[in-house]
Amino acid sequence: MSDLISALTGRGLEPVTDADVLAAHSVDHAALVLPGRAAALVRARSTEEVSAVLRVAAEFGAPVVPQGARTGLAGAATAVDGAILLDVSPMDRILSIDPVNRLAVCQPGVLNAAITVAASEFGLRYSPDPGSWQISTIGGNIATAAGGMCCVKYGTTPEYVLGLEVVLASGEVMRCGRETAKGVAGYDLVRLFCGSEGTLGVITEATVKLSPVPAGRLSLAAVFGTTADAGRAVTAIMAAGAQPSLLELIDNVHLRALEALRPMGLPTEAAALLLVAADANPAEELAAIEALCTEAGASEVYRATDAAEADALLESRRNAYHAMERLGTVLVDDIAVPRSRLAEALDGVQAAAARHGVVIGVIAHAGDGNLHPNIIVHPEDPASLEAGRAAFDEILEMALAMGGTITGEHGVGMLKRDWLAKELDPVNLAVQRRIKSALDPLGILNPGKVLAG
């Protein structure tokens, strides 16, 4: 037994070193990100245990990779050599729900969906809804600043985090933020930890905002023959001051993949389908949006007449990734561009696909200009892999050239750490590194994630 393992055991922890278990815990949902060899897995049950792990890690200079459900798509939870995999998913209790102050206090391993279930008895919900909401944890959502479908109206995860308990690299336990609706005492450390992907500290408790459940929701689907028309519709909807609670785009590649997965009469010849939902005055809002879609050139518009029909429409969107998986391994990309350039970005992705001879389907949080080009590769074929990676890189270049970002919501992780320096200016990058050093002087927290080594 190594000294590191002995030290962990000596602190009352139960490190797992079984090779199969370690291998299973060494990856997240990022395809093709290669893990290093972890030294041990510790399943933490309390803040004290998290602190103990970090104290041992600091003593040994051992890297620590914080993990939740490992549903991330950028390799932020991927093992690095010699790492202690610190799994906080056993810390899965909702500690309190306060309906008057509209707060929930949660341990990090609580599933996103579980918060909404618990809040629903008070007519409240936890709004942010990443695609993974039924399987991802609130700790991971916060650590990756997760987005989702309702962001176009309701914003992303960080806007819903009021307070955190964080264990620092030193093992010290810190509270930041507050329990009040407003508060500006000192620097906003809560926001610094949001999206820091486990590189600045380990989140062990979160106080999140709850919101009233909208009274009703309706949706529509609009079919477009060209990406330009679909893009024009999105632009028109947002420029008109509409506030859709969801504004998603499914491209032709996905429409065909979805129909192949389960025939449901999707328009497989269309260039794009827009899905739009509204939840304030839904009938009135959707009537206005329908008119804008038609004006932009929609060939057909289907209105769901009740919530059940609306949910069915959205189900196809939720199955998009699954449908693509039947075509090969999915290399998931995630760019955001100014929403006015959506059509241009869609066309750019297909140009890259054609150039490299790969299949790429795009689903997009269209209202936010956030595109997920899903690139199909066949890892057993090196040429396919190379072509997929070349297309992946070209898409990131394109996003930057359009004034966009290399990651709209999935994060940097290991997948895009070399790209960060292309998006941020050198002064910004230097500040990022200074902050990392200020909080983790030994560099033991999730090294090689976000910032390249």
Dump the DSSP string for 152-171.
Answer: HHH--GGGGEEEEEEE-TTS
Based on the shown chain and the rule CB under 8 A, indicate whether residue 187 belongs to the binding site for a copy of itself: yes
Partners of 202 in beta bridges: 167
Q: Is 121 in the site for a copy of itself (CB under 8 A)?
A: no
DSSP helix/strand/coil, 324: helix
- Tokens (6 digits) for 21: 């278990």
Nearest to 266 by CA among 236, 231, 300: 300
Is 130 a binding residue for a copy of itself by CB under 8 A? The answer is no
How many CA atoms lie less than 13 Å away from 21 in the CB half-sphere? 12
CB of 197 to a copy of itself, least distance (A): 9
Residue 119 vs 352, nearer CB to a copy of itself: 119
Judged by CB under 8 A, the chain residues 53 through 92 that form the site for a copy of itself are none
Tell the burial category of 366 from Cβ atoms under 10 Å away from its Cβ (0-12, 13-18, 19+). buried
Distant-in-sequence, close-in-space partners of 23: CB < 8 Å, separation ≥ 6 = none
Is 288 a binding residue for a copy of itself by CB under 8 A? The answer is no
Site membership for a copy of itself, residue 370 (CB under 8 A): yes
Examine residue 184 and tell whether it contacts a copy of itself (CB under 8 A): yes
Residues 6+ apart with CB under 8 A from 359: 253, 327, 328, 353, 375, 376
Can you tell me which residue has the tokens 């549903």?
71
- Residue 212 or 379: the one with the smaller Cβ distance to a copy of itself is 212
Q: Are 246 and 310 in contact (CB under 8 A)?
A: no
Q: Is 117 in the site for a copy of itself (CB under 8 A)?
A: no
Angstrom distance (rounded) from CA 22 to CA 40: 7
Instruction: Point out which residues pair with 360 in neighbouring strands.
Output: 375
* Least distance from a copy of itself to the Cβ atom of residue 184, Å: 5
CB atoms within 10 A of CB 21: 14
What are 30's two structure tokens? Answer: 């990022």
Q: How far is the CB of 229 from a copy of itself (least distance, A)?
A: 16
Instruction: Compute how many residues bind a copy of itself; rule: CB under 8 A.
Output: 90
Query: Could you tell me the smallest distance in angstroms from the CB atom of residue 347 to a copy of itself?
Result: 18
Show Cβ contacts of residue 282 under 8 Å, excluding neighbours closer than 6 positions: 216, 217, 218
Q: Is 453 in the site for a copy of itself (CB under 8 A)?
A: no
Q: How far is the CB of 152 from a copy of itself (least distance, A)?
A: 7
Q: Which residue has the tokens 């202690």?
A: 84
Which of 156, 374 has the CB closer to a copy of itself? 156
> According to the binding rule CB under 8 A, does residue 207 interact with a copy of itself?
no
CB of 170 to a copy of itself, least distance (A): 9
Q: Which tokens go with 295?
A: 């004006």
CA angle 131, 324, 415 (to 5 degrees): 65
Per DSSP, the residues of 337-361 read --GGGHHHHHHHHHHHHHHHT--EE
Binding a copy of itself by CB under 8 A: which of 66, 128, 369, 447? Answer: 369
Per-residue x/- marks for a copy of itself, 318-347, CB under 8 A?
------------------xxxxx-------
Choice from 121, 185, 263, 265 touching a copy of itself (CB under 8 A): 185
Q: Shortest Cβ distance from residue 431 to a copy of itself (Å)?
A: 6
- Per DSSP, the residues of 180-221 read SS----SS-HHHHHTT-TTSS-EEEEEEEE-EEPPS--EEEE
Assess 96 for contact with a copy of itself (CB under 8 A).
no
Q: Which of 100, 121, 265, 453 binds a copy of itself (CB under 8 A)?
A: 100
Residue from 7, 110, 142, 238 in contact with a copy of itself (CB under 8 A): 238
Q: Which of 17, 226, 243, 299 lies at the binding interface for a copy of itself (CB under 8 A)?
A: 243
Q: Residue 195, interface with a copy of itself (CB under 8 A)?
A: yes
Q: Considering only residues 392 through 451, tell me which ones interact with a copy of itself, judged by CB under 8 A.
A: 403-412, 416, 420, 423-425, 427-429, 431-432, 434-439, 450-451
293 binds a copy of itself per the rule CB under 8 A? no
Footprint on residues 139-178 left by a copy of itself (CB under 8 A): 144-145, 147, 151-152, 155-156, 158-159, 168, 172-176, 178
